Amino acid sequence: MPTLVMPTQGDIDFMHAELLFNGFRQLSDQELDRTRERLGIVIPSVQLLHERVYSFSANKREALVILKTMTDDVPEIQRYSSWVMILEGDRRVFERAKFIRTSRFVPRFMAWARIVKLMVEYWPLCPEDRDFMLLAEKMDADGDKTQKHFFICPKIERHPENRALVMDMEQVLKEHWSRDEEWFYKEYWNKRKHYQKSLENQGRKIGAARESRKVINVLRPENVK
């Protein structure tokens, strides 16, 4: 387990300013409460402490950045993490969860915040029918999710040879990302490959940790957009 290094208030202020500079806006408590009320989501109040949510919308999708703002003077900080995600309506289509608070937490987290913004901002159109492509997650040989994503247009009737068109996510991003974003993106997937190989050697299932996480229940699914 890497050594935990708690962010300072200066780090939190820096990330807040950088997110705003990069086009995100901070969602108000009222906006978040309205969404939770509409969907019937109940979150333990302890999880909402010291939490800021930032949003960037483009191409009918929304990049969300959830930043836990605890610093050294807040107890039990180890229980909290920050993460980024992409929504289509209320449906989560991409997530990079649990950024561990190590010495490189700030640059790593900010790079991934910019990556999800780039994904939303430059979401690809199918070159054949000019409609937005879908984001899908690759499966391994056992049918387990790998966290590796790709863009796909399944409208085979509009494509030559009646085949789905597929585009690698990195192929889309590399035209727009900076060196920092590329480095942290590839760092994550290099570590992920080693982790998955370790699980295979131990005979353990990929994705078991994700399946064991607590799921936030939507009590009013009829209101899901």
Residue 188: predicted pLDDT: 82
Tokens linked to 141:
């040989």
99: helix, strand or coil: strand
3-state secondary structure of 152: strand
User: Does this model's pTM top 0.85?
Assistant: no
Q: Which two tokens stand for residue 145?
A: 């999710």
Looking at the predicted structure, is the pLDDT value of residue 223 above 70? no
Beta-carbon contacts of residue 193 (< 8 Å; ≥ 6 apart): none
- The full length of the chain comes to 225
Q: Which residue do the tokens 């509009």 mark?
A: 158
Structure tokens belonging to residue 118: 């780039």
Indicate the range of 36-45, 183-192, 197-206 predicted with least confidence. Answer: 197-206
Judge contact between 112 and 124, C-beta under 8 A: no
Q: What is the pLDDT of residues 117-138, one digit of tens each?
A: 999 999 999 988 889 999 998 8
pLDDT digits (tens, 9 = 90+) for 31-63: 888 887 877 666 655 455 578 899 999 999 999
Bigger pLDDT: 225 or 182? 182
